[in-house]
Structure 1
Amino acid sequence: MIVLLTSYEVIDEIKEALENFCTGVVSCADIIIMASRDAVTLSGGPNWEVKLGRKDSLTASQADSDKVMPSPRANATALINLFNKFDLSIKDMVALSGSHSIGNGRCFSIVFRLYNQSGTGLPDPAIEPEYRAKLDSLCPVDGDLEVIGNLDATPFKFDNQYFKDLVNGRGFLNSDQTLYSLDSRTKEFVVHFSKDQEAFFAAFVEGMLKMGDLQSGLPGEIRSYCRKVNARSIEKALVKSV
């Protein structure tokens, strides 16, 4: 899976302003997690105090990212196993999946659900028929895989509509819909959150705080520019390699 982070120029602008005000103090990692919190809050979701003090990585690896980022083509069982590796509970995982209350997904991520579920040649039976027709129109066979669709019915509002959609068979991604249709352990929380938005908000904040505490244990730095490692770090690495 390729991980994409769009609109990164916003992070660049924030970092530049901070560097002009307090050079070398606020990491890019802290900026991103605070910006994520603010995006949730400004979209109608909960607010919480973000723990700060993270360092930025000295390296970047797509392979390492693939090991920790859930695939949109995964199912509930795979997600449970992945989150368990980081001591995140099933409740944490389902609540954090609720971040898909806002945003979009690409046709690339769902065409296998529409036209060849699990290699059987059959569509995903969990998709509600009217919604299936909408997805067929959005993502036709041999269509543009970069076309995007809403992850839930209120893509600009952070609410529990995402869970209501899953209950009604209107989950955009396989990794979302199977939380309701595949595993009773996750279904329990999907149903609960679909009925109680405040319970979802509370569980989401708890999950975000737990996830924010995860650390690699590797050396880090505070980058001057978020898109690349500091020049002095590159120089040290070159010296060590000689």
Structure 2
Amino acid sequence: MVLDLLLIAVAITLDPLPIMAFVLVLSSHKGVWRGLVFILAWLACLVAVIAAVLLFTGGTPPPPRSPPSTAALAAKLAIGIGLVAYGEYRRRRRGAPRRPPSGRAKHAHAAGAHSREGKEKGTDGMTPWSAAGLAVFLQPWGMVAAAATVVVKADLSHLTSYLALFGFCILATASLLAAELYTVFAPQAAGARLHRLRSWMEAHEEPAIIVGCLLIGLWLTGNSIYQLTS
């Protein structure tokens, strides 16, 4: 269970989309406080999912080969296959040749770029509720669902399960916490460096999503098949 949760938490914390959005939140007016709300909402989602699973299992993992245990493994297998399929879909779409844009498409692209600039400037009017909603919306729910199928095995009669669950929540939030603390203790340097980080991640967003989905999907699929057949 621990290794599965560790890998999923790493995939969640390195997801480029939430990080890029979080940098925008930090760059807004009172960004540190908006960032704190974002992180709290992010953590609340993770805790809520874990609590729901533990409420269902009663804090005791179902016996091997029992219907609940088999159902959890089947769900993990389905999520793994889904992540592999999604990663492969994005890889094929990325490698497909693109037609040169027509005049109308060029105009739409320019309008989209202008709209993005307006959105970035509009973050100054972001409310705490908006920051919280953004955290919920950008949560990588596929990875969180995969984590839920692993939490089914948590045994709350052992301290290691508490530590594993706590570590999962912290590691899955580590990139956001690092950016928040960096902004608090070095606000001048943080602004420029986080902006460069966001630009770099925008350029490498697609490969990161593809590799993350394929690696975690293959791991979940292989691990689930092994446990179902052993």
Structure 1 length as normaliser, TM-score?
0.25
Higher strand share: 1
Larger relative contact order (CA 8 Å, sep ≥ 6): 2
